[in-house]
């Protein structure tokens, strides 16, 4: 009988986060990114919501890695500046509140968090391609194209490093953290969705958005 638990860290992470990813990409804020009639305002709303996530996750990653610098070099992979450049081009501001995300207190949690952020660059390429196809290629796309044509190679390099550096005894922590992170992001998107949301509060003025 085949073993139901896949062996590699990547297979385990991918399997565990399949449903949470589905829930996330079907969230109303995210699903609009693929809609043919997406407005600049809606595009900005999704970026404002993601800003809180990326800012909080990158701060936690860098804090853990400052104690374990040999584990992974995240600095050249930071995405916050690209996201902020897009917000600025849209005349939008970050909501500025820290988002409660799963703590990074072990190597497993580190790689579960990295998996989620690095994997999102794959989805970003997909989103950017769709926006261009739909005639929204003039939207600022730095965040969703952050690695450009290196997206696939950087993803593979991340996976290789994760398999090398995450001890198998920590795989369960890695998958639990990734699932908890997806769930936390969805919870944050919920708070950002609606008229009294963080995204609405972070709009600078109706004239700057469609």
**Inter-axis angle of helices 9-16 and 171-192, nearest 10:** 30
Kindly state the smallest distance separating residue 33's Cβ from ligand HEM, in Å.
5
Residue 24 near ligand HEM by CB under 6 A:
yes
Cβ-based neighbours of 166, under 8 Å, separated by 6 or more: 9, 107, 108, 110, 111, 174
- Binding part of the chain for ligand HEM, among 19-27, 66-74, 75-83, 169-177 by CB under 6 A, reads 19-27
Does residue 120 interact with ligand HEM by CB under 6 A? yes
Q: Which stretch binds ligand HEM (CB under 6 A): 29-37, 58-66, 72-80, 199-207?
A: 29-37
Going from the C-alpha of 94 to that of each of 79, 80, 85, 145, 202, the distances in angstroms are 14, 11, 11, 19, 6
Q: Does residue 83 interact with ligand HEM by CB under 6 A?
A: no
Binding of ligand HEM by 21 (CB under 6 A): yes
Among the listed residues 14, 78, 93, 165, the single contact to ligand HEM using CB under 6 A? 14
Euclidean distance between CA atoms 173 and 18, whole angstroms: 17
Q: What are phi and psi of 114, to 5 degrees?
A: -60, -40
Per CB under 6 A, residues contacting ligand HEM are 14, 21, 24-25, 30, 33-34, 115-116, 119-120, 122-123, 126-127, 185
């Amino acid at each position: 009988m085949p073993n139901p638990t896949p062996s590699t860290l990547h297979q385990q992470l991918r399997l565990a986060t399949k449903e949470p990813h589905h829930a996330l990409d079907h969230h109303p804020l995210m699903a609009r990114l693929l809609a043919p009639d997406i407005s600049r305002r809606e595009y900005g709303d999704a970026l404002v919501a993601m800003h809180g996530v990326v800012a909080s996750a990158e701060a936690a990653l860098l804090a853990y890695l400052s104690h374990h610098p040999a584990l992974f070099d995240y600095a050249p992979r930071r995405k916050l500046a690209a996201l902020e450049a897009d917000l600025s081009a849209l005349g939008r501001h970050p909501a500025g509140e820290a988002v409660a995300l799963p703590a990074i207190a072990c190597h497993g949690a580190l790689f579960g968090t990295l998996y989620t952020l690095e994997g999102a660059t794959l989805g970003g390429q997909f989103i950017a391609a769709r926006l261009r196809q739909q005639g929204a290629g003039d939207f600022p796309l730095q965040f969703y194209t952050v690695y450009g044509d290196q997206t696939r190679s950087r993803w593979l390099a991340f996976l290789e490093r994760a398999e090398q550096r995450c001890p198998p005894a920590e795989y369960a922590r890695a998958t639990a953290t990734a699932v908890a992170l997806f769930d936390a992001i969805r919870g944050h998107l919920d708070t950002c969705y609606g008229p009294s949301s963080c995204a609405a509060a972070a709009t600078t003025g109706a004239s700057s958005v469609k």
